[in-house]
A and B are shown apart, each in its own frame.
Chain A
């Protein structure tokens, strides 16, 4: 990955020159074989700090590492067995076939599982370990393995390990229990990472759709010469407010608009935050010589905003869209006349504003 290499080099030169312009955790240096999982790590914000935090949350301590070290060979010598426990359980479930029924997936998963088991008792649970977990999580996700199935199989595996520990510490069940609990801390650390990753991936599509919707929903329409209409629907958060403002300002320049009508009838919540966003939009437009009329602000909302200390005069509000349009047209210099066909050409109203 180009980006990774460049960033890595930059970090090294920063440390060498000692200029200290970067803070810890800014760049992750891990081997390039696990690229998709690394990318995912970055997107999820799984840096050294976050990993350390996760270890803290499950309560992983030095005593746990000691206990795990004590039974390392017990696990590593039976890796194949334990991997089988996991996959046999999956195979027995219809839902598990998502993984076991697909040969290349099954083989890859098995390989990763073996590595997982070894790493689980390896006492290194940093970013490299997490990257490994993510690789497996990505595989499960791609294969369509459901979370509840994964959890069940994993639990079954833990149960088998627990049994082995009891046998091993035959005369000291307390020790077996404590050791098992230490291992479970790691297991729950793993589950935390894996579940977060799987959920993150699932939500990726939703996030993409949300972004697309946001972009589409800030239209600026030129409905008359030098007159713009912005019908705003939905939620206005900081990001959207910025999109709206940028869109409006560019349209003012492109259309040489003198007036813009911003209709907020469709905006769900208008609190002081949103009102301030709107005021900023209006102020910016004014700097470009355009006046903005805000329509669609109900009397109740207007009252509550005033009660909150918002200066509504800055917003030049008009109750409804029609009224706003009329005022806008007047500002631009239009004179609206209506011709009533029913009454014949002799009787046409001259409704100039």
Chain B
């Protein structure tokens, strides 16, 4: 069973690598096919955000356990410009440009836990968790 995997995100191609890693880990843990796709899609969204807005970053995918349940944790980090108004960015339907459409609020719906830490000039860290049902 794969343990933590860290994928550098620099080129578009890395988006696929990251989401594949997430899918494989989820599959190994016994997640349903539907949940695997939800996770892979979420990773795809945040990975693309890194490529589009920060240019460079990393996505780490690993296993996590709580109260007897297994889950996947995804930590996406970048040293990009950061999000100036997080509340605004998290509002459904908000878009800063042609690329960021459903991004953050939509992504939140795909996972069980979603945490975002960001500040202008200080980069962004998005942490996602998805638990086995």
Binding site for B on A (CB under 8 A): 3, 7, 10-11, 19, 21-22, 25-27, 39, 42-43, 45, 47, 242, 246
Contact = CB atoms under 8 A, between A and B. Distances in A.
Given A27-B66, A246-B34, 17 more contacts: A7-B65, A10-B3, A10-B65, A19-B4, A21-B4, A21-B60, A21-B64, A21-B73, A25-B66, A26-B64, A26-B65, A26-B66, A27-B65, A39-B68, A42-B67, A43-B68, A242-B34
A125 B3 CA distance: 34
Contacts of A47: 66-67
Q: Is the interface of B mostly helix, strand, loop or mixed?
A: strand
B75 to A, nearest CB: 7
Contacts of A21: 4, 60, 62, 64, 73, 75
Contacts of A3: 68
A246 B36 CA distance: 14
Contacts of B48: none
B130 interface: no
Nearest to A19: B4
A43 B67 contact: yes
Contact of A42 (B4, B63, B64, B68): B68
Nearest to B60: A21
A47 B69 CA distance: 13
11 contacts: A3-B68, A10-B3, A10-B65, A19-B60, A21-B62, A21-B75, A26-B64, A26-B65, A27-B65, A42-B69, A43-B67
Contacts of B73: 21-22
A42 B62 CA distance: 21
Nearest to A11: B65
Nearest to B32: A246
B64 A22 contact: yes
Contacts of B67: 42-43, 45, 47
A42 B60 CA distance: 27
A45 B60 CA distance: 27
